[in-house]
């Protein structure tokens, strides 16, 4: 049986947020992406996972900071 080399892709749009950079940079292995906020982009699932984990970590850090102050 022949395996497909086609990666699973995800389309998303990062919201524009005042005070945040207008682009997000993601790197997985030797590949990297620049994702502009406010535009639809299609990424491999591995890049989406890195982005999602980054957003979750940032949210947890904010929650922790608020809890100790």
Cα-based torsion angle of the residue sequence 18, 63, 65, 38 in order, rounded to the nearest 10 degrees? -20
- Identify the CA nearest to 13 among candidates 47, 42, 34: 42
Q: What is the pTM of this model?
A: 0.78
pLDDT tens for each residue of 16-39: 988 888 899 999 999 999 999 999
* Portion of the chain with pLDDT greater than 70, in percent: 94
Alpha-carbon Rg for the chain in angstroms: 15
Please give the structure tokens belonging to residue 55. Answer: 């957003």
User: What whole-number distance in Å separates Cα of residue 69 and Cα of residue 65?
Assistant: 7
Domain residue extents for the chain = 9-68
């Amino acid at each position: 049986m022949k395996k497909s080399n086609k990666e699973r892709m995800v389309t998303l749009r990062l919201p524009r947020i005042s005070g945040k950079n207008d682009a997000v940079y993601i790197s997985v292995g030797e590949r990297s992406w620049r994702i502009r906020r406010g535009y639809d982009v299609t990424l491999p699932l591995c890049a989406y996972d890195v982005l999602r984990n980054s957003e979750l970590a940032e949210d947890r850090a904010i929650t922790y900071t608020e809890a100790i102050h």
